[in-house]
């Protein structure tokens, strides 16, 4: 039978192990209703946060890239607004967004907000929606677009009420790792989805079949009634 001292030590070790284990969470998700965009028209997508305990402030940078065209000319972030429903915080007063062209192939949008009530628990499906974001492309653009989260520009903070300092939420490392492991969101142009033309061999085959049918019909017309009665 264990002594009281042994039990106390065991409980302390268990508590220490629990505290040292990183909190598990999900990833920051980019959700699109369509897999294709139409050049010259707005394309919308939403951004969603995983479960977080006591989120006070966030700053998330999104990257928009393509292997063709020029960022800011052929494709760019046009607008962002806080989610109209299931938003993270009770108010959107402090919501902000900025857009910067980092390079000829990279457009970056940063969205941020600070909670008026000093910290809110985020639950996916309840209050996990962050923003509605809009992309625009030039009317003649047909390249593939790629949207991703810039983890170097990710801040998810909780407020320490004892001294009013900020620190990363306990789920931060898990969110970074899960988001890093996910594939970027890729969107192709509707104009690039073209029904392939028949190959030369198929066209030749169709032609031969047509000739054979025409010859067969011609032979049938040449048959006299006497030959039929035979």
Query: 153-202, pLDDT tens digit by residue?
Result: 999 999 999 999 999 999 999 999 999 999 999 999 998 644 455 555 54
Q: Calculate the average pLDDT of the chain.
A: 83
* CA distance linking residue 153 with residue 129, whole number of Å: 19
pTM over 0.85: no
Q: What angle do CA 85, 120, 134 make, to 5 degrees?
A: 35
The widest CA-to-CA distance across the chain, in whole angstroms, is 118
* Start-to-end C-alpha separation, the chain: 112
* CA distance linking residue 179 with residue 186, whole number of Å: 15
Q: Flag whether pLDDT at 220 surpasses 60.
A: no
* CA distance linking residue 131 with residue 83, whole number of Å: 4
Distance (Å) of CA 107 to CA 81, 188, 203: 17, 17, 45
In b/e form, how buried is each residue of 42-51, taking b as 16+ CB within 10 angstroms? ebebbbbbbb
DSSP-based three-state secondary structure for 204: helix
Domains of the chain by start residue, with CATH? 25-192 (2.60.40.680)
Structure tokens at 36: 């294709």
Structure tokens at 23: 């909190």
Query: 198-219, pLDDT tens digit by residue?
Result: 555 545 545 555 555 555 555 5
* CA distance linking residue 115 with residue 206, whole number of Å: 68
């Amino acid at each position: 039978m264990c002594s009281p001292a042994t039990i106390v030590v065991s409980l302390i070790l268990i508590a220490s192990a629990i505290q040292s284990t990183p909190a598990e969470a999900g990833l920051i998700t980019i959700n699109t209703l369509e897999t294709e965009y139409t050049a010259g028209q707005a394309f919308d997508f939403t951004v969603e946060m995983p479960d977080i305990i006591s989120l006070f402030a966030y700053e998330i940078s999104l990257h928009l890239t393509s292997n063709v065209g020029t960022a800011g000319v052929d494709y760019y972030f046009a607008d962002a607004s806080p989610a109209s429903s299931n938003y993270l915080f009770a108010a959107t007063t402090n919501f902000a967004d900025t857009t910067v062209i980092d390079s000829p192939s990279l457009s970056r949008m940063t969205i941020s907000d600070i909670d008026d009530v000093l910290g809110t628990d985020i639950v996916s499906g309840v209050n996990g929606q962050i923003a509605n974001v809009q992309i625009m492309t030039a009317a003649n653009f047909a390249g593939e677009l790629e949207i991703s989260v810039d983890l170097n520009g990710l801040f998810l903070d909780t407020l320490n009420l004892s001294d009013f300092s900020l620190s990363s939420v306990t789920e931060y490392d898990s969110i970074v790792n899960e988001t890093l492991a996910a594939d970027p969101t890729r969107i192709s142009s509707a104009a690039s989805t073209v029904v392939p033309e028949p190959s030369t061999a198929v066209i030749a085959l169709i032609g031969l079949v047509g000739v054979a049918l025409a010859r067969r019909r011609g032979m049938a017309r040449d048959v006299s009634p006497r030959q039929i009665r035979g």
